[in-house]
């Protein structure tokens, strides 16, 4: 890995064995973009790749020049990376190279979550300073390259070096000019209970984007986009990834210009945003993670999975086993008392489950969703001995204890509201819009964050609590803070999320042993910003196995299995009413951080035995399910959509678990083989299935020792298509591969 600067060619070349990123200081001093993609040889100039000589913002042919951090007003009419309102009211900006530094490692971003290094030698950072001497603005562009990852982490710092205030109207974390537009844009879009559905559409002239204006990244779009060639599959072809380490209003946008080039940009959504920069003040963008793969979407995902698991998730939990949890939400909703909870915990313990998480309803007078958010004092009517007594009893049973909390929220009917009626977000001149009967606290106010740190710390400190599920169940309306002057109201949404980050940082520092799980009505804030504090997230409120195939498939594009909380729930499913076999529900939820969301006290003996077997199976293969290499095989979004398959392979390729899911049964199916990936072609694998099929007298024994070469080239003959007696809708079969 190296960052080279050639003074003669005026070029920067960031490279490792997997990728190269080339920047050139143009003749007029602007920062030109030359190349991002597969690694190129070092010690050479690549400036000639950009056709024509540079004359300002267009070349000799009048074509737009690829730029690193484009601005408006001097001839580049495409989407800018930075838009300012200068003291004279103009927005013309012309950034020219001033200086640069190459730093070992990666600097910490104050106030914002970011990827990090463990040692200074694993990455290098280039900081280029560009300035506009008329506007008296300095921009520091940051590029980090790790020695062994196909990613470039980017961000920017905007400094007002003039004597008057300047307004930032929009600032991106990264902008990338690509030389053609022969790409399909893949986004993860959806709604509550159907998050992260994969959308794939060819780029066309003009702009196309995903974004949020909700104050959270949102269920509707995830802050991740991939560009893939039309022919790119999971296994083959080129792909770029754009991921924003941010949990608030974001924008990831592409623009295809009249010459068929593509500009991508990613950053805080400029819609509704402005930021006043006083003289000397600096604005720091969240960071964007750009990735390149020449080996399909699978390789792109692998780059994000490893980076997010190893260098975004905080060190305290990144390498540790995540417990198998039982959560009481779908088992009881608000209707519980200590006896009921202990009965659940005790039954769960008999099944091998490791942690009990007490969900909504333990505090204030909360017996439905109309009251008490903000009153984080235990409800003694339900839990007479308080949290401590309950937690100790749960621990005596043999489980760890965890708790649900929604710190950013406040109910109208709450003591907190009576004490601080001005803390909920809203305008004094308008009624506040309610969502799920609740308001959002003004997290831009330091006193609110301080207060919450105090009460949440008191809750966590009051009992042996080892797990916190931090929920956030509605989006922001009437964005406004009375503590900000009129000309700073455009800062509100970003200040809100900075407040959330500050609370997360303080709490995770104060309680490093506690495992935090983020949640926002399921996957409404499943983003890299949250992962920096909470190593896992509740993937979706939808626990139906069939729906989860799509949700988990889409979520896995950027996010690792270790971040996806996935539970088995009761049937008929509470979100869609579907009845799927218990084995199918587990076989889907295994591929993530596994748990249960049902009442184990009402199970039949047969179901209890099945669940005990599931928990034991997950624990046996936990390392594979939480840290293996995840490979998607058959997409629920493609083909006839009646099946899905994926697998996880150990880092040394000695073991693997393959999941194959048949959604609707087919009459008279033909034989089917599933080609696996990521195995050792020279190894022989013992193949066993889960659930273990009942012995069928007279059926020839299945061949159980198969070569890695055969499994990858010819494929695995699927059991589910061989035995007609096993047919039926919603069937899952797992194949465990162990190298002998």
Please give the residue ranges that form the binding site for ligand GLA (CB under 6 A): 329, 359-360, 404, 471, 473, 519, 521-522, 538, 541
Q: Which of 471, 542, 544, 599 is catalytic?
A: 471
647 vs 337: CA distance, rounded Å: 41
Strand partners, 36: 21
80 vs 170: CA distance, rounded Å: 8
**Cβ at position 598, least distance to ligand GLA in Å:** 13
**Cβ at position 308, least distance to ligand GLA in Å:** 21
Neighbouring residues of 6: CB distance < 8 A, sequence distance ≥ 6: 13, 45
User: Is the omega angle on the peptide bond into residue 572 within 30 degrees of 0, that is, cis?
Assistant: yes
Closer of 6 and 437 to ligand GLA (Cβ): 437
Annotation says 541 is catalytic = yes
Main-chain phi, psi angles of 122, to 5 degrees:
-85, -10
Strand partners, 327: 357
465 vs 454: CA distance, rounded Å: 16
Closer of 354 and 360 to ligand GLA (Cβ): 360
137 vs 388: CA distance, rounded Å: 55
Query: Which tokens in the block code for residue 217?
Result: 């990244």
Return the residue nearest ligand GLA (CB atom).
360
Closer of 153 and 373 to ligand GLA (Cβ): 373
**3-state helix/strand/coil string of 466-478:** EEEEECCCCCCCC
Cβ(6)–Cβ(44) below 8 Å: no
Output Rg (C-alpha) for the chain, integer angstroms.
27
Query: Which tokens in the block code for residue 351?
Result: 């099944």
Closer of 136 and 437 to ligand GLA (Cβ): 437
**Cβ at position 331, least distance to ligand GLA in Å:** 12
Cβ(594)–Cβ(337) below 8 Å: no
Neighbouring residues of 691: CB distance < 8 A, sequence distance ≥ 6: 583, 610, 613, 733, 734
CA distance from start to end of the chain:
37
**Cβ at position 164, least distance to ligand GLA in Å:** 47
Query: Which tokens in the block code for residue 239?
Result: 């792909």
**Cβ at position 472, least distance to ligand GLA in Å:** 9
Q: Which of 541, 542, 544, 599 is catalytic?
A: 541
Closer of 522 and 554 to ligand GLA (Cβ): 522
**Cβ at position 16, least distance to ligand GLA in Å:** 40
**Cβ at position 18, least distance to ligand GLA in Å:** 37
- Numbers of helices and strands, H then E, in the chain: 14, 40
Query: Which tokens in the block code for residue 77?
Result: 């009419």
* Entry field: residues in the chain: 740
Cβ(117)–Cβ(105) below 8 Å: yes
Closer of 333 and 637 to ligand GLA (Cβ): 333
337 vs 389: CA distance, rounded Å: 13
Closer of 262 and 473 to ligand GLA (Cβ): 473
Helix axes 582-589, 545-555, angle to 10 degrees: 10
Cβ(195)–Cβ(219) below 8 Å: yes
Closer of 262 and 372 to ligand GLA (Cβ): 372
Closer of 78 and 525 to ligand GLA (Cβ): 525
Q: Cβ atoms within 10 A of the Cβ of 668, count? A: 6
Positions marked active-site: 471, 541
């Amino acid at each position: 890995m190296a960052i080279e600067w050639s003074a003669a060619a005026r070029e920067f070349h960031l490279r490792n064995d997997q990728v190269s990123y080339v920047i050139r200081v143009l003749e007029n001093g602007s920062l030109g973009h030359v190349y991002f993609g597969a690694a190129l040889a070092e010690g050479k100039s690549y400036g000639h790749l950009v056709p024509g000589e540079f004359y300002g913002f267009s070349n000799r042919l009048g074509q737009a020049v690829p730029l690193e951090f484009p601005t408006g007003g001097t001839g580049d009419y495409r989407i800018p990376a930075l838009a300012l309102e200068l003291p004279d009211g103009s927005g013309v900006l012309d950034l020219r190279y001033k200086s640069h530094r190459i730093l070992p490692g990666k600097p910490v971003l104050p106030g914002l979550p970011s990827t990090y290094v463990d040692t200074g030698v694993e990455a290098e950072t280039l900081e280029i300073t560009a300035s506009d001497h008329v506007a008296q603005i300095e921009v520091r562009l940051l590029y980090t390259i790790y020695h062994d990852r196909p990613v470039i982490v980017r961000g920017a710092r905007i400094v007002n070096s003039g004597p008057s205030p300047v307004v930032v109207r929009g600032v991106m974390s990264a902008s990338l000019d690509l030389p053609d537009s022969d790409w399909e844009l893949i986004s993860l879009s959806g709604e509550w209970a159907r998050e992260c559905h994969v959308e794939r559409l060819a780029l066309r002239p003009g702009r196309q984007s995903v974004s949020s204006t909700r104050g959270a990244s949102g269920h509707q779009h995830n802050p991740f986009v991939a560009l893939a060639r039309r022919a790119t599959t999971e296994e083959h072809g080129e792909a770029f990834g754009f991921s924003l380490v941010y949990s608030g209003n974001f924008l990831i946008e592409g623009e295809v210009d009249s010459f068929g080039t593509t500009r991508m940009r990613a950053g805080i959504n400029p819609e509704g945003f402005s930021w006043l920069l006083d003289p000397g003040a600096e604005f720091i963008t969240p960071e964007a993670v750009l990735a390149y793969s020449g080996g399909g979407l699978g390789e792109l995902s692998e780059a994000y999975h490893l980076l997010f698991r190893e260098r975004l998730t905080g060190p305290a939990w990144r390498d540790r086993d995540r417990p198998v949890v039982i959560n009481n939400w779908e088992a009881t909703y608000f209707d519980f008392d200590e006896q009921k909870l202990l009965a659940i915990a005790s039954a769960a313990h008999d099944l091998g489950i490791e942690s009990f998480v007490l969900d909504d309803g333990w505090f204030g007078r909360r017996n439905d969703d109309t009251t008490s958010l903000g009153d984080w004092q235990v409800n003694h009517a339900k839990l007479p001995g308080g949290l401590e007594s309950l937690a100790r009893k749960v621990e005596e049973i043999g489980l760890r204890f965890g708790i649900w909390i929604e710190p950013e929220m406040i109910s109208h009917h709450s003591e907190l509201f009576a004490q601080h009626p001005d803390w909920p977000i809203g305008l004094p001149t308008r009624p506040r819009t309610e969502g799920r009967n609740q308001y959002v606290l003004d997290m831009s106010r330091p006193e609110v964050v301080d207060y919450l740190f105090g009460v949440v710390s008191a809750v966590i400190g009051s009992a042996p609590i080892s797990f916190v599920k931090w929920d956030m169940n509605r989006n922001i309306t009437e964005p406004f803070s009375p503590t900000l002057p009129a000309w700073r109201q455009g800062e509100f949404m970003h200040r809100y999320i900075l407040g959330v980050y500050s609370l997360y940082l303080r709490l995770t520092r104060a309680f490093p042993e506690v495992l935090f799980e983020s949640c926002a009505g399921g996957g409404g804030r499943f983003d890299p910003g949250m992962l920096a504090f909470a190593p896992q997230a509740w993937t979706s409120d939808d626990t139906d196995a069939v729906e989860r195939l799509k949700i988990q498939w889409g979520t896995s594009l950027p996010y690792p299995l270790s971040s996806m909380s996935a539970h088995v729930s009761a049937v008929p499913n509470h979100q869609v009413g579907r009845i799927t076999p218990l084995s199918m529900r587990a076989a889907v939820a295994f591929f993530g951080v596994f748990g249960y969301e049902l009442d184990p006290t009402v199970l039949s003996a047969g179901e209890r035995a099945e669940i005990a077997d599931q928990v034991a199976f997950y624990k046996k293969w936990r390392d594979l399910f939480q840290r293996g290499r995840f490979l998607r095989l058959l997409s629920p979004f493609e083909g006839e959509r009646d099946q899905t398959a994926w697998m996880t392979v150990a880092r040394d390729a000695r073991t693997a678990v393959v999941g194959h899911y048949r959604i609707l049964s087919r009459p008279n199916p033909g034989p089917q083989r599933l080609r696996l990936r990521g195995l050792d072609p020279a190894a022989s694998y013992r193949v066993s299935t889960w659930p273990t099929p009942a012995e069928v007298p007279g059926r020839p024994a299945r061949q159980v020792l198969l070569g890695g070469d055969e499994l990858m080239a010819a494929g695995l003959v699927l059991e589910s298509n061989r035995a007609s007696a096993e047919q039926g809708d919603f069937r899952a079969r797992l194949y465990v591969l162990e190298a002998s």
